[in-house]
């Protein structure tokens, strides 16, 4: 395993903008790997302060219609939660998923929604998937073009199963994919007007970051 640190930033007390880790796979490794991104506080300051795996999950699904201070507390609790506590946020996510499902005027066409289920249970499957905030990567593939490819593959929504690594590279329009799945059940159709970065970034040369 190889890690790259911003030693200069650490020495002068600047904020670290990125930590890059490269993991080599040997022998018969599992085809998929679940990765979670988290930003802990230094030991003297206590608990974890942030985590980032899938895009928008906390910001979009926790307290979107609540007063600002209530919403902020819910997001802070979500960011600090240990993995064994993630699923306790699923019921709240279920309620918010119903809002997104209705944005196109059609109920029940959200990704993983069960139109036949009672309205209170219609979004249970997607809420459980999103509450488990791990970013799944197909480590057997070097072809990386699609956000949530592993999840979509596993749930029979991929045209080329097993061919894309998934993950979350700087080239993905992850926000549009996420919102489209929540509104119309596909990976397109809901756009924010920003399709990609101004530059194409490497998905084969480590570290996998956009240039300054």
Digit-coded pLDDT (tens) for 128-154: 999 998 888 888 888 888 899 999 988
| Dihedral sign from CA coordinates of 42, 46, 47, 50 | negative
pLDDT, mean of residues 70-96: 93
Tell me the per-residue pLDDT of 24-35, one tens digit each, with 9 for 90 and over.
544 444 566 666
Whether the per-residue pLDDT at 102 is higher than 90: the answer is: yes
Higher-pLDDT residue of 87 and 32 is 87
DSSP state for residue 14 in the 8-state scheme: P
Domain boundaries, the chain: 2-184
CA dist., res. 151 & res. 49, Å (int): 27
Structure tokens at 9: 């930033």
Give pLDDT, residue 34.
Answer: 63
Give the contacts of 201 (CB within 8 A, at least 6 positions apart).
Answer: 169, 170, 171, 208, 209, 210, 211
Q: Which of 1-5, 20-24, 39-43, 118-122 has the highest mean pLDDT?
A: 118-122
Q: Which has the minimum average pLDDT: 8-17, 44-53, 61-70, 196-205?
A: 8-17
Q: In this structure, are residues 9 and 15 in contact, taking their beta carbons and an 8 Å threshold?
A: yes
Q: In this structure, are residues 119 and 129 in contact, taking their beta carbons and an 8 Å threshold?
A: no
Task: Name the average pLDDT for the chain.
Answer: 80
Residue with tokens 């988290």: 38
How many angstroms separate the Cα of 8 from the Cα of each of 5, 18, 66, 104, 126? 9, 13, 41, 49, 42
How many C-beta atoms surround the C-beta of residue 105 within 10 A?
6
Structure tokens at 147: 């956000």
Q: How confident is the model at residue 74 (pLDDT cuts 50, 70, 90)?
A: very high
User: Which letter, b or e, does each residue of 198-209 get, where b requires 16 or more Cβ atoms within 10 Å of its Cβ?
Assistant: eeeeebeeeebe
CA dist., res. 194 & res. 92, Å (int): 29
């Amino acid at each position: 395993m190889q890690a790259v640190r911003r030693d200069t930033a650490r020495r002068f007390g600047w904020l670290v903008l990125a930590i890059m880790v490269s993991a080599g796979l040997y022998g018969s490794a599992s085809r998929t790997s679940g990765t979670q991104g988290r930003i802990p506080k230094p030991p003297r300051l206590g608990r974890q302060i942030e985590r980032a795996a899938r895009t928008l999950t906390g910001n979009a699904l926790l307290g979107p219609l609540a007063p600002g201070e209530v919403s902020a507390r819910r997001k802070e609790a979500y960011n600090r939660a240990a993995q064994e506590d993630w699923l306790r946020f699923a019921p709240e996510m279920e309620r918010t998923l119903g809002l997104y499902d209705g944005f196109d005027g059609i109920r029940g066409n959200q990704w993983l929604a069960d139109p036949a289920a009672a309205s209170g249970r219609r979004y249970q499957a997607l809420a459980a998937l999103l509450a488990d905030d791990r970013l799944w990567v197909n480590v057997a593939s070097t072809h990386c073009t699609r956000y949530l490819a592993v999840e979509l593959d596993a749930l029979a929504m991929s045209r080329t199963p097993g061919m894309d690594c998934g993950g979350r590279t700087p080239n993905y329009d992850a926000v549009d994919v996420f919102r489209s799945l929540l509104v119309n059940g596909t990976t397109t159709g809901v756009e924010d007007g920003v399709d990609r970065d101004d530059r194409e970034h490497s998905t084969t040369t480590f570290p996998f970051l956009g240039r300054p």
